[in-house]
Structure 1
Amino acid sequence: MNAFINLSTITLILYSAFATVLAYLMGSIPFAIIVSKLFGLQDPRQFGSGNPGATNVLRSGNKKAAALTLIGDAFKGWLAVFIAQQLFTHYSTTIAIVAIAVFLGHIYSLFLHFKGGKGVATAIGVLLALSPLLALSLIIIWVLMAVLFRYSSLAAIVAAAAAPLLYLQLYSYHLNNAYLATIAFISIVLIYKHKTNIQKLLTGQESKIGAKKK
């Protein structure tokens, strides 16, 4: 019996490690750069904020490319977590680790020399898998902030700060601690990745949504 338990534990660890690596590689796929090349656009790292993400692709003036980038970045986050949920149904810690791996893969992409985007779209994809209700609530917050102030970064920062608090409110009676820790971690990293944007917001130098590339 003990041998069986040990073997099962080792197998779970190996499978979890494999899933984590795959999730990181999935997160590393730089959709902003791939889509920009397909549309014949300039590399998003070479204009605007220099961030390979949907908002910066939008600064090229090509809304279709920006939309595809957004969908691609969100989808990879959702897909990695969804697959983990199917394979590790009763192991929320493994699912949480996979969620963090795909998110960090986007930010520190293996294919971009461990650089990447800020992770907003991928985070939304992750949250759509972990908690669709939370993700929808955050999307509404993001849209409201973006419409009111026209700053994508400000909308992302506010939504990120609200995420763990909303999760606590929505699931106060049946909290998943692994998910809560993951959401809190993602929120902290998202805000940290926007530190330059925060400085620009404070000095009035931040670009608004829809501003063309410079």
Structure 2
Amino acid sequence: MALPISAGTLLSARNQFGEIMTPAWLLPAFVLLISYLLGSVPFGLLLTRFTGAGDLRKIGSGNIGATNVLRTGRKGLAAATLLLDLLKGAAAVLIGAALVDGGGPMAGAMAFIGHCYPVWLRFAGGKGVATMMGVVSALYWPAGIVFALVWLGALFGTKWSSVGGMAAGISAPVALLFMGRIDLAPVTLGLALILLWRHRANIARLAKGEEPKIGAAKG
């Protein structure tokens, strides 16, 4: 004798089976991994190598960011590096927000960490300024504008790339607090602290009066 099984019962059973087979943490973990890998793409290193500008790690400061790309004399490559590093931070936020409810901030943070500590380069990456601007801009664009203005103002005001980057990083959580986005301030504060740590050698040179300004061969 056949037992009557409704379509609703089958759908419920399928959903329960799917929940058992797919843990709730799997998608967020996947998003964080993808964001880290996206952030870890060393665009500056790839662009300079593919265009014959040399190994960026053996030029100037050895950093893989746009400032060091500029030391190759290729302004177009430096601009492209800046844009791509910015876009990967913004893309991670958008991907995280689309796939996981409230996942944008943490996805952006993982892209930033990927840029600073890429597995492909033995965790010796960039300093994260452009990527952090992309993250902040995607999270809340008015704060991204503040970030950019502070960056450019401090950069051209002092002629020190490091000062511009650090000032911009610090401005992000402060701007978000004043703009009422307290929910985003903690994660951007964490990124700012990492950014400052990545600039620790620059801070030491600034204290000694040895930090080169824009256009110098080493920094």
TM-score, normalised by the number of residues in structure 2? 0.87
4+ aligned runs moved over 4 Å, structure 1: none
Bigger Rg, structure 1 or 2:
2
Supply the distance in 2 between the matched residues of 1:160 and 1:183 (Cα, whole angstroms): 8
Supply the RMSD in Å over aligned alpha carbons.
Answer: 2.0
With a CA cutoff of 8 Å and minimum separation of 6, indicate the structure with the bigger relative contact order.
1
Q: CA deviation at 1:213?
A: 5.5
Deviations 1:98-139 (A, max 9, x none): 111111001110111121111111111111110111011111
Distance verdict in 2 for CA 1:12–1:127, change over 3 Å:
farther
Supply the distance in 2 between the matched residues of 1:76 and 1:11 (Cα, whole angstroms): 28
> Which segment drifts farther, 42-51 or 136-145?
42-51
Partner of 2:191: 186
Partner of 2:202: 197
* Aligned-partner residue type, residue 215 of structure 2: G
Q: CA deviation at 1:212?
A: 3.7
Which of residues 14, 26, 29 in structure 2 aligns to 1:17? 29
Q: CA deviation at 1:11?
A: 4.3
Q: Give the % identical residues.
A: 35
Matches within 5 A, 1:1-214: 7=19, 11-88=23-100, 91-92=101-102, 94-171=103-180, 175-176=182-183, 179-212=184-217
> Which segment drifts farther, 55-64 or 94-103?
94-103
Q: CA deviation at 1:96?
A: 2.1
Is the contact between residue 99 and residue 182 of structure 1 (CA under 8 Å) also seen in structure 2?
no
Q: CA deviation at 1:193?
A: 0.7
TM-score, normalised by the number of residues in structure 1? 0.89
Q: CA deviation at 1:82?
A: 0.9
Deviations 1:134-164 (A, max 9, x none): 0111110111111111001001111222221
Is the contact between residue 25 and residue 105 of structure 1 (CA under 8 Å) also seen in structure 2?
yes
Deviations 1:29-68 (A, max 9, x none): 0001101012211212112111111000101111011011
Question: Match of 2:142, SS?
Answer: helix
Gaps of 5+ in 1: none
Supply the distance in 2 between the matched residues of 1:74 and 1:193 (Cα, whole angstroms): 17
Supply the distance in 2 between the matched residues of 1:37 and 1:31 (Cα, whole angstroms): 10
Distance verdict in 2 for CA 1:66–1:48, change over 3 Å:
same
Q: CA deviation at 1:205?
A: 1.3
* Aligned-partner residue type, residue 102 of structure 1: A
